[in-house]
Amino acid sequence: MVCSSCGLDNDPSATFCARCNATLGGRPVYDEPATPLAPAEPTVSLAPDEPASAYALPRRRLSPLPLIAAGVVLLLLVVVIGVVIAGRDPDPVASPQAGPVPATTTTDPVPATEPTTTPTTSPPTTSLTASPAPQPTANPQEQAAVIDAILDRSVASRSKLNKAIQAVGGCARLNSALADMREVGDERRQQISEVEAADLSGLAGGETLRSTLTTALGHSLDADQHFVAWAEPAVAGDCTDSSSRSAAWQRGQASSDLAQTAKKQFVAAWNPVATPLGFATRTNKNI
């Protein structure tokens, strides 16, 4: 149908003109020739002082459907992006080996990701274990000096005991002699304790030296205790050689013999070690 306003040939079923939006069918439409020519644009004469826009042809009204469809698509896109962002982990981990990430609603740890090659058992963390402090190097000279000093004190204790025995045998200065014997016993216990605690790791056969010397000093302590039992009756006023005193004396002599045997074993192991270190050679009589 030809628009009576602008001359555009519209669809016969259209109600409004596709160009000027004028109502179609308002005027009678004349038949066009068999070969229609494109209608000429109407010419409008403009007054000298009228703007051209006053006679501009009306524009075609755009359909709102494309804008509505674009708005729906944009809305759906925003919803999809929001769902994706909401489903992401708020605290992502750097790598599968970074360890479990604790959940916010439970006390049990929830792993952030599931590693595919993590072994079932953790490797030993030897790099985290502190290395033990290096031990000081054993000094044989110093260790031998400790034992040599104990031997000197043992000789002094033995000399003190012999003097006390002579005094009691002569029934003289009995009280002081008995006190010296008991003091020798205390000295022997101290000497044994020091030998047992000494570091002999730098000496050849160090444990043999320890064992034979503690055995010798132990027998010397036993002998001292028997001689104390021999001297106590004399201090009480009986210097006679009674059977009880004789038995105590015999026990003291037997322990002294055992001490001398052990001292011989000790010096056999001691002299080869001590002499090269500059210490004097010893015998069982000067221990």
Same domain, 280 and 151: yes
- The stretch 99-116 carries a mean pLDDT of 44
What confidence tens digit (pLDDT) does each residue in 146-202 have? 999 999 999 999 999 999 999 999 999 999 999 999 999 999 999 999 999 999 999
Residues spanned by the domain of 277: 140-286
In terms of pLDDT, which residue wins out, 238 or 90? 238
- Give the confidence band of 84 by pLDDT, cuts at 50, 70, 90: low
Classify residue 2: in a domain, yes or no: yes
Classify residue 123: in a domain, yes or no: no
For residue 210, is pLDDT > 70? Answer: yes
- The stretch 133-158 carries a mean pLDDT of 90
Query: In the chain, how many domains are there?
Result: 2
- Rounded to whole angstroms, the Cα distance separating 21 from 41 reads 16
- Rounded to whole angstroms, the Cα distance separating 212 from 262 reads 6
Exposure on the CB side of residue 225, measured as CA atoms within 13 A: 10
Q: What is the mean pLDDT of the chain?
A: 78
Other C-beta atoms closer than 10 Å to the C-beta of 7 total 16
Helix residue ranges per DSSP H, the chain: 65-87, 140-169, 174-197, 206-235, 243-274
Same domain, 153 and 262: yes
Q: Give the pLDDT of residue 20.
A: 83
Classify residue 154: in a domain, yes or no: yes
In terms of pLDDT, which residue wins out, 123 or 236? 236
- The stretch 226-250 carries a mean pLDDT of 94
Angle at which helices 174-197 and 206-235 cross, to 10°: 160
Looking at residue 111, what DSSP letter applies? E
What confidence tens digit (pLDDT) does each residue in 38-74 have? 444 444 444 444 444 444 444 555 566 767 777 777 8
Classify residue 155: in a domain, yes or no: yes
Classify residue 92: in a domain, yes or no: no
Closest CA to 9 of 43, 35, 45, 46: 35
Classify residue 187: in a domain, yes or no: yes
Classify residue 94: in a domain, yes or no: no
What confidence tens digit (pLDDT) does each residue in 19-41 have? 888 787 654 444 444 444 444 44
Classify residue 56: in a domain, yes or no: no
Other C-beta atoms closer than 10 Å to the C-beta of 151 total 22
- The stretch 252-267 carries a mean pLDDT of 97
Same domain, 34 and 160: no
Other C-beta atoms closer than 10 Å to the C-beta of 4 total 17
- Rounded to whole angstroms, the Cα distance separating 206 from 12 reads 127
- The stretch 205-217 carries a mean pLDDT of 97
- Rounded to whole angstroms, the Cα distance separating 41 from 26 reads 20
Q: Which tokens sit at 121?
A: 């058992």
Of 99-108, 121-130, 143-152, 230-239, the range with the highest mean pLDDT is 143-152
List residues bridging with 210 in a β-sheet: none
